[in-house]
Structure 1
Amino acid sequence: MKRSFFIILAGLVVTAVSCTKNMEVDRPDFQVSLNAANLVADTFTYRMGDTTRFQFTGSAGNIAFYSGEIGKRYDNRVVSHRLGQLTLSFASKAEWGTQTNTLKVFVTNKLTGLDSATVVNAPWTEITSRAALATSATVVNSGTIDLTDQVANAEDSLFIAFRYSGVTGSTQRTWTITNYLVNNVFPDQTYNVSSLTTDASFWTRYGNVWSPATARWTATAGDLKITGGTGTAPTNTSWIISRPLYVGRVSPDVSTGIKSINEPDKTGYDYRYNSPGVYKATFVAFNHTLDEEKSVIRELIIKVIP
């Protein structure tokens, strides 16, 4: 009886050891080269539209390619927040009546709630003076309004508000806002943070008087609009506020998969750059199992001329 016990115990030990052993993987033996005739100093030069033939040697289970173009850069593959120049722009027109200073523009990054009391008492910064506003039914473009100073860092949020006021006693103005855009701008790329098209259903409206019923903001994919009342309409203050804008949120750059583990080794890859510039082409070759991954990175600098 004791002998049988020890045999079973030994079997359990062997099983435990085998279950904890990881599946090992080799690092890829993978190299990339270009035609030496195109090499000037440390940069390979091609004409726009030429076929760039990357030549491979060695072996790899998987290969991913980052061309170095906008949206396809290896260095930005895990980026989730970047803050460039934060800009606001819109167009406006003001119809009917002659009341002045009836539209104000505000921003804040410290809005703690969306109830009307919190909104009215929030630490808004008025930026009306930074924008060109209409004085008649002629549409006026605001110009590019720099809001970078209104946020603390790339992970900050921002609210934008338009506040309308109409006073009883004379015809109140009707305002229409179009071409509203908030962008996060870099020298070579622009990320749209907010637009009328994307945010039509996210605007929030507040006001102290809803008589006449039209004296409140409406939001569509084409415009923001508030229709003032006649000279007998009550004094009205009406706000419309954007959703929280996460100003530095960006999408990570992506690669192109050019080989998977179930495909035979490739001898090369053809690519065409269609715009002049200097690009860092990056190949990531990797082998992996369920337990482990090993990779190598190969980079080449390519200059594309007209």
Structure 2
Amino acid sequence: MQRLSFIILAGLAVVAVACTKNMEVNAPDFQVSLDPAMRVADTFTYKVGDTTRFRFSGNAGNITFYSGEAGKRYANRESSFRLGTITLSFASKSEWGTQKNTLKVLATNKLAGLDSAAVVNAQWTDISSRAALATSATVVNSGTVDLTDLVANEKDSLFIAFRYDGVTGSTQRTWTITNYVVNNVLPDQTYSVSSLSTDASFWTRYGNVWTPASARWAATANDLKITGGNASAPSNTSWIISKPLYIGKLPPDVSTGVKSINEPEKTGYDYKYSAPGVYKATFVAFNHTLDEEKSVVRELIIKVIP
């Protein structure tokens, strides 16, 4: 009986060791080359529209490709913060009635909360005069409104608000806002911070009068709209406020999948650059298991001429 107990315990020890041992993986044996005839010093030169034929040697379970174009750079593969020129643009139209100065466009980077007291007491900057606003049912484009002076740094936030004021005694105006976009404009790329289509469900509205019920802002993926009351309707102040816009936060650049572990080995990859420039083309090859991943990075400088 003692001998049997010893055998069982020894077997359990072997199982325990096996269960704690990680599955090992080898680093890819992977190289990338281009036609030597296209090389000058350390740069390979092609014309716009030429096929850049990358040739592979070795093997790798997975391969991804960063072309080096805007939005496809290996160096920007993780989220980061950069502050460029912050711009707002939208279109507006104002229907019915003749009341004047019924729409204000406001912005702040200091909003303590999204309750009505915080909204009313916030330090809003009136940016209405920076934009062209409609005076009739004819749609007017705001032009590009520069908001860069309203933010302190690349990690600052920004709120945009539209405030409507309708006065009892005459027909109140109806406003429609379309083509609303906030961008972070950098020298090499423009990033969309906010738009109607992406943020329709994030707008918050406030008002001190909801009579008639239509006299409040409504947000859709196509427009922001408030319908004014008739001459007997009560005076109405109504706000609609964007979500906090983290204006300097940049999404990670993306790669293109070239090969997955389930595919056979590939001998190369063809790509066409559509604009002149100097690009750092990057291939990342990696092998992995549930426990470990090993990768290699191969980079080539591509110059594209007209």
Short-chain TM bin = 0.7 to 0.9
- Residue number in structure 2 paired with 1:216: 216
Query: Structure 2 vs 1, CA of residues 44 and 141 (structure 1 numbering), >3 Å: closer, same or farther?
Result: same
Separation in 2 of the partners of 1:213 and 1:266?
63
The alignment partner of 1:200 has SS state of helix
Alignment-mate amino acid for residue 265 of structure 1: E
The alignment partner of 2:134 has SS state of coil
Q: Deviations over 1:110-168 (max 9, x none)?
A: 33433323322233222223222233444332221122333344454332111122334
Pairwise mapping of residues 30-109 of structure 1 onto structure 2 (< 5 A)?
A: 30-79=30-79, 81-109=81-109
1:133 paired with 2:122, answer: no
Structure 1 unaligned blocks of 5 or more: none
Alignment-mate amino acid for residue 65 of structure 1: F
Deviation at 1:275, TM superposition (A): 2.4
Separation in 1 of the partners of 2:207 and 2:9?
78
Deviation at 1:181, TM superposition (A): 1.3
Separation in 2 of the partners of 1:20 and 1:126?
63
Query: Structure 2 vs 1, CA of residues 178 and 300 (structure 1 numbering), >3 Å: closer, same or farther?
Result: same
Alignment-mate amino acid for residue 197 of structure 2: T
Separation in 1 of the partners of 2:208 and 2:261?
65
Separation in 2 of the partners of 1:38 and 1:76?
27
Q: Which range moves more in the overlay, 289-298 or 170-179?
A: 170-179
1:259 paired with 2:259, answer: yes
Q: Deviations over 1:155-209 (max 9, x none)?
A: 5433211112233445544333222111222233333232233333443332223
- Residue number in structure 2 paired with 1:146: 146
The alignment partner of 2:129 has SS state of helix
Alignment-mate amino acid for residue 117 of structure 1: A
Deviation at 1:283, TM superposition (A): 0.8
Deviation at 1:97, TM superposition (A): 4.5
- Residue number in structure 2 paired with 1:271: 271
Alignment-mate amino acid for residue 279 of structure 2: Y
The alignment partner of 1:222 has SS state of coil
Alignment-mate amino acid for residue 254 of structure 1: V
Alignment-mate amino acid for residue 167 of structure 1: V
Separation in 1 of the partners of 2:160 and 2:146?
13
Q: Deviations over 1:8-49 (max 9, x none)?
A: 444444443343333332222221111111112221111112
User: How many pairs were matched up?
Assistant: 306
Query: Structure 2 vs 1, CA of residues 13 and 73 (structure 1 numbering), >3 Å: closer, same or farther?
Result: same
Q: Which range moves more in the overlay, 19-28 or 1-10?
A: 1-10
Separation in 1 of the partners of 2:268 and 2:218?
57
Query: Structure 2 vs 1, CA of residues 63 and 93 (structure 1 numbering), >3 Å: closer, same or farther?
Result: closer
Deviation at 1:300, TM superposition (A): 0.4
Query: Structure 2 vs 1, CA of residues 300 and 165 (structure 1 numbering), >3 Å: closer, same or farther?
Result: same
- TM-score norm. by structure 2 comes to 0.86
Separation in 1 of the partners of 2:20 and 2:229?
77
Separation in 2 of the partners of 1:154 and 1:93?
33
Deviation at 1:5, TM superposition (A): 4.7
Structure 2 unaligned blocks of 5 or more: none
